Each structure stands twice: as C-alpha cells, then as structure tokens.
Amino acid sequence: MSKIKISAKLGLLLLIGFSTIATIDSDHNKYFEISKNIEIFTNLYKEVNTYYVDDLDPGQLMRTGVDAMLESLDPYTNYISETEIEGFRYITDGKYNGIGAMIRKIDDYVTITEPYDNCPAQKAGLKAGDVILAVDGKSAKGKSTDDVSAILKGFPGTEVELTIKRPGEAQDKKIMLVRDEVIVPNVPYSGMISDDVGYVALTTFTRNAGKNVGEAIKKLKADNPSMKGVVFDLRGNGGGLLTEAVNVSNVFIPKGEMVVTTKGKVADWDRSFKTLNKSIDEQIPLVVLINKGSASASEIVSGVIQDLDRGVLIGQRSYGKGLVQNTRDVGYNSKVKMTTAKYYVPSGRCIQGVSYEGGEPIDIPDSLRTSFKSRNGRVVLDGGGVKPDIAVKEDLDIPIIKDLLRKYMIFEFATDFALKNEKIASIADFKFTNFDDFAAFLQKREFQYETKSEKVLENLKKISTKEGFKETFKADIKSLEDKIAIEKKNELYDNKVAITSLIEKEIISRYYYQKGRIQIGLRNDLEIKEALEVIKDQAKYKSLLKTQ
C-alpha cells in the first residue's frame, strides 16, 4: 500500500477522532452548563425565600420563574399544575369536572357568559350576565378567570356555593351547585343551509372529532339524498389533537393519503401520518370556512384540503400555528406542554408564523412567503397561516364593532333584553328589529370609542404643541375633528346589519345556548352566502381548484 494511501487513511481516522472528541467535549460543556445553572437557580431560590424582606409564597415564586422561562420560548409551551389538569383534560377529551359554564372577567368580577345546556350551572338557574361576587363565602373581587375557574372545577358530586349579582335584581343570590362531569360536544350543530347544501360546525379537535364529523355527514346524506355540497366550518376552532386532524381529513380524502409530517430536534420522534380508513365522501363539493381564529389542527385540515385540491377555502387567513406540542410528566401530577416539532402538510409547507407580538403571530406579506404547489399545480404559500382561495372581509375588523365587543356592550344589552323577555320566538323565526333600542342603550351607557384617526390626531396635537405649531394647525385639526365626529355618528347605523347579526347571536344564546348561537349566525353570514354561491356555480368551483 502506498504511503499516500496510508497517510490519507490516517488523516481520515484522526479527523474522525477529533470530530468525536469535539462532539463529546461539546456535549460535556452543555451538560455542565445545565448542571451549573440548575445549582445557581436552586441556591438563588433558597436565598430569596429565606432572606427576602417580606414573606413569600414559595409555590407562587417558583411558578413565576417557570412561566417566565417558558414564555421566552413560544406561546404554546406551558406548565400545567395539578390544579389546572381539569382544563387540560377538556382540551384533549372535550370534558371536565365542574359546573359547565363559560366565564369571563368584566371589570372587577368574573361573570357567567354562557351556561352550557343541561349542565350543573344551567340546572341550578345560573344565567349569562350573572356576576360572581363570592365562591363558598370568599370574595371573588379582583380574582382572575383562571382563579375562579380552578375553584369551580372539582370532583363530581361535590358542592360549591356561589353568591351572584343578577342585573335587574336588587338582592344578591346564593346558589348551590353540584359539580358533575361536563361534556362539551365538538360538533355542536349540523344541518341543511339550503335545499341541497349541508353544513357541519366543528369547534375543537377533541377525541372522536373525526368520528363525529363523519357521522354528521352520513346523517345529512341519508336525510337529504339530493345533497350537492357541504360547508365545513372551522372558524374559531383553535385546534386540539393531531390524530383527530388526520381523522377529520379522512372524512373527505381516501385511505392511504399522507396528511401531515412532523419534524423536530429528536429525530426518533419524527412521524408521518396517513389516513387509515375508508372516507365518507371523496367527491361531494366541499367548502371549508376558516378565519384568524382557526389554528393548529384546523390548519392541518384546511391545508390538506387545499394541498390536495379537495375543496375550496373561504374566509380570512388562519392563525399560523404550525407547531406540535407534547406533554411530559414533571412530578406531583403536573405536566409541561412543550413544542417538540413543526408539522408539514402534503405540499411540504409549514404554515407556522415566524415571530410573535403580544402572543399573536405577526402578519407575513405574501412576497416573503415561500411558494409550494398543490396536487393540481396551484401555488400555495408557507408561513403565517393558510390563505383562503376566496377572501371575505370580516365584520369583527370594523373599529366600532371591535369596541362594542371589547366593552361588552352587545353582551350587556342581551342581558338586559333577556331580563325583560322571558320567552322569544323559535331560532328560525326570531329577528331583532329594535335597533333604535340598542342605540339608546349605548347612549344611556355613554358608550365612546376612539378611532385610529383620533389617536393619530391626538398625537399630532401633542407634537405640534411641543414644536410650537399649535396655533398654526389649530383650525386644520378642528376641521378634522369635526369630520371624524360626523363619520363616527353615522358609523353605528352604517354597520347596522353586521351589528344586528351579533345582537341576534348573543340574545339567542340566552334561550337556545351554543346550538342556537351557531344556527342563527348562519342567517346573515357572508362566508356562508359566498360558499353557497360557489357550490351552486360548479364551473367556478372547479376553476378555483385548477392550476391558476
């Protein structure tokens, strides 16, 4: 063997050796850093708990540190304490032990916003609008929604006493509730929205989501043999179980299709998920509705439907969560839910937003998104959510509507309405026609809102004063203020149709609960109208799914 070959082999062995040593050294340094910082953290925690000037709650102090650490990673990596396990159970199973009501903090107190039908809260007589003053005799003033929710959850059969203030009633009420297992359906409504088009709403990807969607479709087909299309509503669906995203996709696409691939740091955890069962219907025209509240598993399903050209997407760009979370036990019946991978839909794209602001993904312009191809060769984009095939402007983006919702004006008007009306017409027949009453309610409540133009104008006034131009711009600024005031005065009635639809949904939920809210919301729904037109016009439907 020549000296050159021996030298080459020796060089290669040395290179491998140095590389291995470097890797071992790198790993050693990493583990040393981990060990060192754990020791520093432990010592710091002990010193602060022992010598800090005020008494501390050791658990709360540690929780603050853990939350801050995980918050620096992404919005979806969270610590789940023992007291929060029931909430986690709801996310995965669609059920939990508690009273069965949605709650939200309004001003100083947590308020019941929607009791679930046939659950302990509704059976005990709690109503939307009831303000929780105390729980088991302890004041709830200043408590967060999470604080109150943790107390309301508990083992079935146990009791909890609420002291509530009901709007319109002078005396506070004490109501005793018996906790029970609360099951929230993931398909709260399905039905026909025209003579030949069916509709299915999926609100969360909890267990059996695929089975329930499939059964809803089968029932619609059996009851309506002439059904020519389906509208599948994923708006506001924040996701859930990845396996259920595969099962839901399988309702509309054949067995053996690749749905999603996950890739992360730990290569052994990388997985590919294909459909495992025979589909319910691979041919029926399909429209999927999405909006910025459609996230995670919703984006897998909508991305798959788009990538495989199986249906048309209508609405607004989805949230942009292309990450997979898994849970790990960390002791004392607590868990950490952490991001372990990114997921990729059939075209190869990942729709994850790349940066966040205030916990929300920052919008990414199309020009900065990478192009991929659907099965038919259509251009689809990665990053920042799934872009619909037909975009429809959302009413909730209108400034006055945003403020009406943010200040709970529609919610409180519906509470007032329900106090005055013991019964209303059926869901199909109910119509809210007293818009002037709503306008008077806003005036009585002294409702005010600030537009972006007013904020800019106020900033201009401050700058012009600071720079000595106050008198120079005074007349111009006054003219702009007057014009804005006129526009604001008309804005309420200019958006009468959209606001009326929101009022109807809020009122109907007081009598017919979530099912009623969804059903009546379809009446003036712009996305539903667009979906019906697309399904009716099959030439347009097919053209949207062809190479552009």
Q: Sign of torsion, CA 361 365 368 371?
A: positive
Point out which residues pair with 361 in neighbouring strands. 356
For residue 466, indicate whether it is catalytic: no
For residue 329, indicate whether it is catalytic: no
- How far, in Å, CA of 430 to CA of 449, rounded? 30
Indicate the helix (H) or strand (E) that contains 381: strand 379-381
Find the length of the chain: 548
Residue from 127, 249, 298, 307 carrying the catalytic annotation: 307
DSSP state of 186: S
Point out which residues pair with 327 in neighbouring strands. 337
**Nearest CA-CA partner of 320 in 302, 337, 307:** 302
- How far, in Å, CA of 238 to CA of 245, rounded? 12
Residue with tokens 């990414």: 364
Residues 149-179 as b or e (16 or more Cβ within 10 Å = b): bbbbbbeeeeebebbbbbeeeeeeeebebeb
Beta carbons of 283 and 223 less than 8 angstroms apart: no
Residue with tokens 């040393």: 32
Indicate the helix (H) or strand (E) that contains 116: none
Q: Which three-class secondary structure state does DSSP give residue 346? A: coil
Residue from 149, 279, 294, 296 carrying the catalytic annotation: 296
- How far, in Å, CA of 52 to CA of 396, rounded? 48
> CB-based contacts of 221: which residues, under 8 Å, 6+ apart?
198, 227, 281
Beta carbons of 341 and 263 less than 8 angstroms apart: yes
Residue from 127, 143, 153, 321 carrying the catalytic annotation: 321
- How far, in Å, CA of 471 to CA of 403, rounded? 33
The burial class, CB within 10 Å (0-12 / 13-18 / 19+), for 447 is middle
The burial class, CB within 10 Å (0-12 / 13-18 / 19+), for 410 is buried
Count the Cβ atoms, other than its own, within 10 Å of residue 92. Answer: 15
Q: Which three-class secondary structure state does DSSP give residue 461? A: helix
For residue 296, indicate whether it is catalytic: yes
**Nearest CA-CA partner of 239 in 118, 343, 373:** 343
> CB-based contacts of 478: which residues, under 8 Å, 6+ apart?
none
DSSP state of 84: G
Phi, psi of 27 (to 5 degrees): -65, -40
Kindly list the catalytic residues.
296, 307, 321
